[in-house]
Copies of this chain bind each other. A is one copy, B any other.
Amino acid sequence: MRNFDETTITPAVIDRFAKTPNPRLKEIMTSLVTHLHAFARDTRLSFGEWSLAVDFLTRTGRTCTDARQEFVLLSDTLGLSMLVDAIDNPGAPGVTDSTVLGPFYVTNPPDLPIGADVSEGFSGEPLFVEGAVSAADGRRISGAVVDTWHSDNDGFYDVQLPNLSSAALRGRFHTDANGRFYFWSIMPRYYPIPDDGPVGDMLKATRRHPFRPAHVHFLITAPGHETLVTHVFASDSPYLDSDAVFGVKDTLISEFTHEPAGTAPDGKRMAGPWRKLSFDFGLKEKRTKST
């Protein structure tokens, strides 16, 4: 096969994938080539524009480090991450909605006892977080693993802070016999996604703001259940209607209530005002291998 024109090259490339042993990989490559080529034809993409795209992707790769995933940011800002989430995690009764993982999750966060304070000396409004983890049928799940992480009072995650060597504002909790957990932290703040790289260049060139509304991340796992990746958004935060990564769902917005000085639910004496987030989570039963 030779002498391809802009129409004949697409079936020729697809044909080259004909011997792919894995049928799912063959399906994905066939669809990728179809849509990638349609994009180039529809836009009448020029060699100069193609060169800019190669350079953009190369710089995106160079921006990736252990603490920063620029391709995830690109996917997030193009709405692809939330689209995949919608496809892969359709809502179900009794199951908490999911949203993007985001680029700041760290595997194996500090394993902490219920009630611990993850603020590690960061200043901000004290925040008490409490919740329960249940199956879709309402049955509480004991021993569920609850990873949580969020930004500081200035909108930065620990991994973004150059002079911090240990984890902060993140931790792993295990639900008690009643499926419950609670911990102390500080109020997170809305923040810009990292915009000093290629994704930031794209946002600036298209006059998009980089902000996300204030939220606390949760990644919850339990035997026999699907992993839940979600946030809880603060109902008084700006940017709930224009999240840079399209991640907000009404069901994930909660009031972080203003509480007066006094005794907190865990018996802690609070000399000044504090905030409280109460949010319960429902997990989906694990899909069987055949589906």
Chain A interface residues toward B at CB < 8 A: 1-6, 9-10, 12-13, 16-17, 19-22, 25-29, 31-47, 49-50, 54, 57-58, 60-62, 64, 69, 71-72, 75, 78-89, 205-208, 240-243, 246, 248-250
Contacts and interface: CB of A to CB of B under 8 A. Distances in A.
A192 to B, nearest CB: 15
B20 A207 contact: yes
B246 A4 contact: yes
Contact of A33 (B38, B40, B44, B79): B79
A45 B79 contact: no
A37 B57 CA distance: 18
Closest 9 CB pairs of A and B: A61-B61, A13-B79, A6-B86, A35-B39, A2-B248, A19-B207, A20-B206, A35-B35, A50-B84
Q: How many copies does the complex hold?
A: 2
A243 B44 CA distance: 24
A69 B78 CA distance: 24
A75 B87 contact: no
Given A10-B83, A35-B36, 8 more contacts: A2-B249, A3-B250, A9-B246, A12-B79, A21-B207, A32-B39, A32-B78, A47-B85
A43 B34 CA distance: 12
A43 B28 CA distance: 6
Nearest to A37: B83
Which of the listed residues A12, A43, A49 has the most CB atoms from chain B within 10 Å of its own CB? Answer: A43
B35 A86 contact: no
A256 to B, nearest CB: 18
A81 B50 contact: yes
Nearest to A46: B88
Contacts of A79: 4, 9-10, 12-13, 33, 37
Contacts of A71: 54, 57-58, 61
A190 to B, nearest CB: 15
